[in-house]
A and B are shown apart, each in its own frame.
Chain A
Amino acid sequence: MSEAAATFTEDRQRLELAALSAPAVIFTVAMIAFPVVYTVWLGLHSFSSTGKQSFVGLANYSRLLADTEFWHGLWVTIALYVLSLVLQLVFGVWLALVLFHAKRLPGIVRSLFISPFMMPPVVAGMMWLVILDPSLGAANYILQSLGLPPSEWLASPVWVIPTVALIDTWQWTPYVALIVLGGLQSLPPSVYEAAQIDGASAFKTFQRITLPLLLPTIVTATILRSVDLLRFFDIIYITTQGGPGNASNTLNIYGFRVGFEFFNIGYASALMLTLTAIVFGAVLAFNRLRGAVAW
C-alpha cells in the first residue's frame, strides 16, 4: 500500500468514527448544552406576567442570597443528604458483608434485594404514604403494639426529613450493598488468610484490612448516591410536595415550584444553576477523594 493510500484510509477511518459518535453528540448538545446556555441567559433576565423580558444582570442571584426560602431549601437539602447518605452507607456496608459471607446467592435472593431500587421512586412514595398514614397506617400500629407512641411521620414538620430519609434508605441501601459487594469480591483472598494466620479477630480484620481496602468502592457509592440525593425530588413531590408547610422543601422542589407553579422562569433558572453547581462540586470533590484513597 502506498503512503498516500494509507493516509487516505486513516482519514476515512477517522471520519467514519466521528460520524458514529456524531448522533449522540449532536443530540446531547441540542438537548442539554444549548438549553443550559439558554438557562444561563434566562437567569440573567426577568419576565413580566405579559411575557416581556428585561435584562437584570445578576439580580436573580442577589435575590437568591437574600431569600430565606433558598437558605431553608439548602438546609433541608443538606440535612436530607447527610442523613440519607450516612444511613445508606452504614447499612449498605453491613448488608454487603452479610451477602458476601452467604457465598452463593440464588437468583431469587438477588432479585429480592434489587427490587426496591428497580421500582419507580414514585411507587415507593405511594406505598410508604399508606404504610405511614398517621391514623390508619401499619407503621403506627406496630409502634403502638410495641408500647411506643405513634408518629405523625410525613405529616410532622419535625419528622418529615428523617421519614423521607428512611424511605430513600429502604429503597437504595441494597444498591449501595451490591456496589460494596462487588468491591469485596474483587479483594484478594490472600489478605484475609494472612490476617487469620496472625490471629486477628473478625472485627480487627474488618477495621484494619477490609474497610481501608473497600474505601475506593465506598467513595464510588457515595458519588453515585450524592448525585441523586442532592437533587432529591420524586419521593418528596409525591408524598408531601415540600410540606408540611415548607419542612421538606428541598432546593430541587423549591426550584421546580418557582418555575412551574409560580412561573418565575428567571429566578427558577438561577436556583437550578446554583443547585447544579452544588451537585457537580460534590461529584468533583468526592472524585478527588477517590483518587486519594485508591490503592
Chain B
Amino acid sequence: MMQIKPILAALKRHKAGTVLIALQIALTLAIVCNALFIIRQRTEHLSRPTGLTESNLLAVSNRWVGADGKATESLTETDLAALRQQAGVADATMINSYPLRGGGWSLGADTKPSDKDNVRRPTAQTTLYFTDEHALSTMGLKLVGGRNFRPEEVRWVDPRDFETNVPVIVSQALATKLYPDGHALGKPVYLSSTKPATIIGIVERLQVPWTGNWAANFAENSVLLPFLLQGNFGNYLVRTRPGEMARMTKAVPALLFKTNRMRVIPEERGVRTFAEVREQAYKSDRGMAILMGVVCAVLLAITAAGIVGLTSFWVGQRRKQIGVRRALGATRHDILSYFLTENLLIGAGGVIVGAALAIGMNLWLVSHFEMERLSLAYVAVGVIALLLLGQGAVLAPAMKASRVPPVEATRSV
C-alpha cells in the first residue's frame, strides 16, 4: 500500500490507456449487471410448476368441420368415449384451455355480489377452465380439500349463454385470496354479477394459461367449472399409461380421424406432449437468457483480453524502469504487487463509474420496457467479479514483469 502514490504518478503519464481500461470495465459492468438481471427475470418462471402431473400427458387441439354449436356435443362425447377405451390411455378430458397454452378465459372473481349500481369490484382476477369430472385424474391435479365433480353435475353449455351458479373447484391460491381465513369450502364465489358458484373442492395448484408478465399477479388463480363448451373448437387432454407416450402420440390422432374424419388437427402444435407445451411456452424466455449469457461471457472475455493486451504493452514499455527498480533492491514480489495494485486502482475507478452506469441503464430500461428495478446485490456481485477478472487478467503480464532481470537497467533499449 506504500506504493499507491508512485503508481498514481505513473498512471498520470498513461492517461489514455488508464481511461480506456477503466471505461471498458465500467461499460462491461453496466451491461453484465443488466444482462444477468434479465437472465434471472427470464429464468425464474421457467421451473414454475403448473400443478399438473406433466409426464405422460398429451394435448390435442381439435376443430370440427361442418358442425358447430349443439351439434358438437355428441361428436365430442363419441371422441371422449373412444379415447377412454383406447388401450394405453389412462383417462381423457375436454377443456377450453390448459396451463402454458397461451389463450384462455379470464375474469374477476368476488366473494360478494355486485352493489346496487351493478358495479363489481372483483377481489381476484382468475382464469376459468371449462371441463368435466375426468379433469382431475387426467391432469393429475392434487385435491387438497373437498371433492371432485359428480358426473351428473357436468353439463353442456353454449359459451355465450350460461349461468355460473354451479359447484366449482378452485386452486388453493384463489381460495386463500378470496377467503384468507382458510375456510373456502362450501363458500360462494361470484363469477357473474348475481348468482354465485359454490366452492366444492380445492386443488393444491393450477396455473393459468398465460406466462406473460401481465398475468403474473394471478398466475395460480384458477377455477374449474363443470361445463363442457359447445362449439367447433376444443382441446383434449389425454393421460397415457407409463411407457405408452411415444405410441399414443401417433395412435391418438389416428384414432380420432378413424372416429370422425370431418375435423382438423393442425399439423403444427395439433398434438403435443406436455414437455413440448412447456418448451414452446418458455421458448423466448429461455432463448433470451441464453443470448444474454453468451453476451456476458464474450464481453468478460474481451474485457479480460483487453486488459492483458494493454498491460503487456506497459510492461514492455517499462522494462528498463523495472530493471532499475530491481537493481535498486525491489524484490520480484514488489514488482508483481505493483502491477496488481495498479490494476486494482484502475478497476476501482472503473467499477465506481460502472455501478452508476448500471443503475442508470436499468432505470432507463424500467421506464421503457416491462422491467423490474435492478437489485443492488447484482451490482455488488458484478463489482467483485470485474475486480477479480482484472486481477486475473493482469496476473500473466505482471508475472512477466517480475521476471525482468536487474541487469536490464544497464542495457539501452
Indicate, yes or no, whether A interacts with B. Answer: no
